[in-house]
Structure 1
Amino acid sequence: MAEDLKKMYRTVMDDHFPESLSIRFGDQELVYRKRTWKIPDAKTGEVIEKGLRYGENPGQEAALYELVGGHLQLGDCRFIDPGKGLVSAITEADMLQAGKHPGKTNLTDLDNGLNILKYLMKQPAAVILKHNNPCGAAHGDSLASAYHRANRADRIAAFGGCLVVNRPLDKETAEQVARNYLEVVAAPDFEEGTLDLLKKRTNLRIVQIRRMDRLEEYRDLRFVDFKSLMDGGLIAQQSPVCRVHGPEDLKLAEAVHDGTTYRIQRPPTAKEMEDLLFGWYVEQGVTSNSVLYVKDQCTVAIGTGEQDRVGVAELAVYKAYRNYGDALCFDQYGISYKELELAVERGERPREDRDVIDAATREAKAGLLGSTMVSDAFFPFRDGVDVGIRQGITAVVQPGGSLRDWEVIEACNEAGVTMVFTGQRAFKH
């Protein structure tokens, strides 16, 4: 059975989806063309023209379509026009190393990386994604710094992930990337010498996104978002547009309860405001329910996909401690924390080695001291924000709108924590 599975992972499936697709909205029509690529087989050298390798899992046929015709206006909303393809427009020429035919998850990770980076274009930035969620995201003084910080934020989850950067990949960054295992590396361009370093991993998909210099133009463009139901039905919706463009769009938290007005007592510092904005922009690409912790424009931990808000706040704290301890362990001993833990259990390393890492992690509260807490929806009770306060956060950004906003404001004021409302929820399912 194991061999059968391995064969399935290697197989590029035939797909029976049509070469073109059209969707009518009343008297308006959108026209799509299926994307295929001619890619040589890594073992035989035979050129195979196929589309997606498979869908979310082997055995699921899938197809990628690019919008090539039609214009859609519904009410006051004009949806994105043809000719603006990013991931759906990738050609063989853009696959600087194809590695092998991409699967659905490779492209949806890349797409979500661009979805996040469209808010982060003013500085060098890197996002590493797995299963359509960011593992780590960071700004940096240089691209190499941004990648190092994003990777260090969660080395464990980044293994086998998709890296998307918003500047031409330089040699210093490529040297770092080449030391790690990734499935996809995407950039607007690749400087001389970088491809030689990256191509040492023959299965690595190296992709150039040629329109990335215009990525900010996509901030306010809407597309039609489809959700297919198990009964064959569809839900169609407008894609979300983030209303937060700068500090002026974040309002100090305020709420009225039983005739009393509750207000946050302390406005954010300039540094906190940078983290509040950075965190809210990364939040646009995270599966809800989610809570993030951000410090110095870098994610400390990302909690995703939980059913309750206090639970996801606690999950993110757990991940922060795990990631911080793992990074320290790798810096000090050159191995992961789990490898150290196993070596201690087997008596191959002294227990003190692990105790040193654990003590340093606890003392720093896993980097959460002075961090910003980001929530994609309101806190229904103060217990969620209290999780972050206990770890030493100094700022919170959230939509607001709970009946108990006053209670959350009180919790923040008691701790000297500032909090801003976005006035907009950021659910992503």
Structure 2
Amino acid sequence: MSDLRPIRRALLSVSDKTGLIEFARFLAERNVELLSTGGTCKAIRDAGIPVVEVADHTGFPEMLDGRVKTLHPKVHGGLLGIRGNAEHEAAMAEHGIAPIDLLVVNLYPFEATVAEGAGYDECVENIDIGGPAMIRAASKNHDAVTVVVDVEDYARVMDEMSAHGGATTLSLRKHLAATAYARTGAYDAAISQWFARELGDTFPRRVVVAGELKQNLRYGENPHQQAAFYVNGVQRPGIATAKQLQGKELSYNNLNDTDAAFELAAEFDEPTVAIIKHANPCGVASGADIVSAYKAALACDPVSAFGGIIAINRKLDGATAEEICKLFTEVVIAPEADEAAIAAFAAKKNLRLLVTGGMPDPASAAMTLRNVSGGYLLQSKDNGRVTLDGLKVVTKRAPTEQELKDMLFAFRVCKHVKSNAIIYVKDGCTVGIGAGQMSRVDSSRIAAWKSKEAADAAGLAQAGTVGSVVASDAFFPFADGLLAAAAAGATAIIQPGGSMRDQEVIDAANEKGLAMVFTGMRHFRH
């Protein structure tokens, strides 16, 4: 028995009119009876295509400002009636219910309305009721009914109808039904998330995660893993909104590292460049301009920067692009890029250049989600910031003005380095980074060692850590980490404090003549 189902009657009701007229004309030319509502009906009729108002089809007028128009047995019976079922067909005949073989619906633009900052009442009015109800009905009865919720699927339906004498296959109908249920699920997720935000309910009883496929990736973190990139519809400048101007396809690791780099660069108001390798910064610097910031960031660890990701918080200019071209780089991301920069990168065929149109707000109330076995961990984004007024001097010597400035810079970078994190900074530039070690003292030593290695390679007389400040993302549990920093030449320390051995650490700092401040805030990043 063939699974082909001919389309003889279609109901079209769309907010997004893209491709509507072409699709409607295609259907009409194949003698498909068209039913429609409101603005969709008017658009089809104005194009000279025969169409029947749903109100005329049901014999029941639209009412309540259009809230009730498709919620009618002649609509839902036409979608839900099982073809070939004698009882269903008898009931449909008795009540004058004609089968509807194709449903084309895209929903009221609730997500776009929220993104535009509309008021509460306007958002509520853009919650579609009839659309999701019809979509779910048609999807349930996919054995007979074709349902389309995305304009990009019009072509698939037209191709099948052309190939099969006006009919569609069960395979297509199943795929379209799956897409349709995912759409209504994502729609309800957006509504529930909006309500939670409006109510100030950070952790509601149920959390629904939804996303729209942006890109199928070649593989995941490793070639044996599958991966894809989904976006959640939140219009926050960043990797999800980025436009790729050139270069080969982005990989899973590229996307992850680029996001980490751009979020770090967004932390600073001054012209700043962040260079990331394996989700950790290997160089961060602020400067009078982007090109000087880039050179300083690169100097922190030029070996690790090879094949890294570069994020810039200003328009990318030609001079900076020329400098970047001297190094093998995977991705460069910036809010904008001028013509000179684009031209400079043109010869680097594989280098990906991304522009986002803006910088993300580092203080945004975003949430982060992590998968664990059998569930998820949900938390607010680490948007905590320590200010000068929040620092507590705990040593005999108070920091100098420059040390305080560098301390705040270093502690802000700390937030973006895997724990245990130790950051050495001098004159607004990282000069040593120790990341992801099980022991904090090891992070101190590794950062100092890498700083000395970079200095030796550059022919400098001493490591950049000499005369630097050092930041720790969490308290020093023992004095050994502080002593390692002192041995590397650091003169001042910023850390959260809160250890049972704080006094031991303070005493060690005083003995070495170091200045130290407590922040009262830690920045674990796991």
Q: Does 1:110 find its partner at 2:258?
A: yes
Q: Does 1:382 find its partner at 2:466?
A: no
CA distance in 1, matches of 2:206, 2:426: 50
When residues 232 and 29 of structure 1 are mapped into structure 2, their CA distance, relative to the original with a 3 A threshold, is: closer
Q: Does 1:252 find its partner at 2:401?
A: no
Which of 143, 163, 167 in structure 1 is aligned with 2:310? 163
CA distance in 1, matches of 2:354, 2:228: 19
| Structure 1 letter corresponding to 2:245 | L
Which of 237, 245, 249 in structure 2 is aligned with 1:96? 245
Count residues with an aligned counterpart. 332
Residues 308 and 329 of structure 2 are in contact (CA less than 8 Å); yes or no, is this contact kept in structure 1? yes
Output one character per residue of 1:45-98: Cα deviation in whole Å (capped at 9) or x when no partner: xxxxxx333211112111222222xxxxxxxxxxxxx322521223xxx1110x
- SS of residue paired to 1:210: coil
Residues 256 and 279 of structure 2 are in contact (CA less than 8 Å); yes or no, is this contact kept in structure 1? yes
Output one character per residue of 1:314-356: Cα deviation in whole Å (capped at 9) or x when no partner: 111111111211222xxxxxxxxxxxxxxxxxxxxxxxxxxxx
The residue that corresponds to 2:54 in the other structure is none
The residue that corresponds to 1:344 in the other structure is none
When residues 419 and 176 of structure 1 are mapped into structure 2, their CA distance, relative to the original with a 3 A threshold, is: same
The residue that corresponds to 2:432 in the other structure is 301
Which range moves more in the overlay, 268-277 or 318-327?
Answer: 318-327
Q: Does 1:425 find its partner at 2:515?
A: no
Which of 300, 321, 327 in structure 1 is aligned with 2:458? 327
Q: Deviation at 1:236?
A: 2.3
Q: Deviation at 1:377?
A: 0.7
The residue that corresponds to 2:117 in the other structure is none
| Structure 2 letter corresponding to 1:175 | E
Displacement over 3 Å in runs of 4+? 16-31
Which of 232, 236, 243 in structure 2 is aligned with 1:67? 232
Q: Deviation at 1:191?
A: 1.8
Q: Deviation at 1:118?
A: 2.2
Residues 128 and 164 of structure 1 are in contact (CA less than 8 Å); yes or no, is this contact kept in structure 2? yes
Q: Does 1:119 find its partner at 2:263?
A: no
CA distance in 1, matches of 2:218, 2:334: 22
Which of 391, 403, 420 in structure 2 is aligned with 1:272? 403
Q: Deviation at 1:101?
A: 1.7
- SS of residue paired to 1:367: coil
Larger strand fraction of residues: 1
Q: Deviation at 1:413?
A: 1.3
Q: Deviation at 1:232?
A: 4.0
| Structure 2 letter corresponding to 1:176 | E
Unaligned runs of 5+ in 2: 1-174, 193-203
Residues 274 and 311 of structure 2 are in contact (CA less than 8 Å); yes or no, is this contact kept in structure 1? yes
When residues 59 and 370 of structure 1 are mapped into structure 2, their CA distance, relative to the original with a 3 A threshold, is: same
Output one character per residue of 1:206-229: Cα deviation in whole Å (capped at 9) or x when no partner: 0001122xx3xx222233322223
Q: Deviation at 1:28?
A: 6.2
The residue that corresponds to 1:409 in the other structure is 506
**Match runs of 1:170-185 below 5 Å:** 170-185=317-332
CA distance in 1, matches of 2:318, 2:329: 17
When residues 64 and 85 of structure 1 are mapped into structure 2, their CA distance, relative to the original with a 3 A threshold, is: farther
The residue that corresponds to 2:339 in the other structure is 192
Unaligned runs of 5+ in 1: 1-15, 37-50, 69-81, 254-263, 329-359
Length-normalised TM-score, structure 1: 0.73
Length-normalised TM-score, structure 2: 0.60
CA distance in 1, matches of 2:483, 2:506: 11
- SS of residue paired to 1:147: helix
Of all paired residues, the percent bearing the same amino acid is 38
Residues 237 and 356 of structure 2 are in contact (CA less than 8 Å); yes or no, is this contact kept in structure 1? no
Q: Deviation at 1:138?
A: 0.4
The residue that corresponds to 1:33 in the other structure is 212
Residues 262 and 333 of structure 2 are in contact (CA less than 8 Å); yes or no, is this contact kept in structure 1? no
CA distance in 2, matches of 1:385, 1:95: 44
| Structure 2 letter corresponding to 1:301 | G
| Structure 1 letter corresponding to 2:513 | G
Residues 66 and 85 of structure 1 are in contact (CA less than 8 Å); yes or no, is this contact kept in structure 2? no
Q: Does 1:233 find its partner at 2:364?
A: no
Which of 422, 425, 431 in structure 2 is aligned with 1:291? 422
| Structure 2 letter corresponding to 1:65 | Y
Q: Deviation at 1:389?
A: 1.1
Q: Deviation at 1:30?
A: 5.1
Residues 373 and 388 of structure 1 are in contact (CA less than 8 Å); yes or no, is this contact kept in structure 2? yes
| Structure 2 letter corresponding to 1:398 | Q
| Structure 2 letter corresponding to 1:107 | L
CA distance in 2, matches of 1:324, 1:237: 40
- Rg larger for: 2
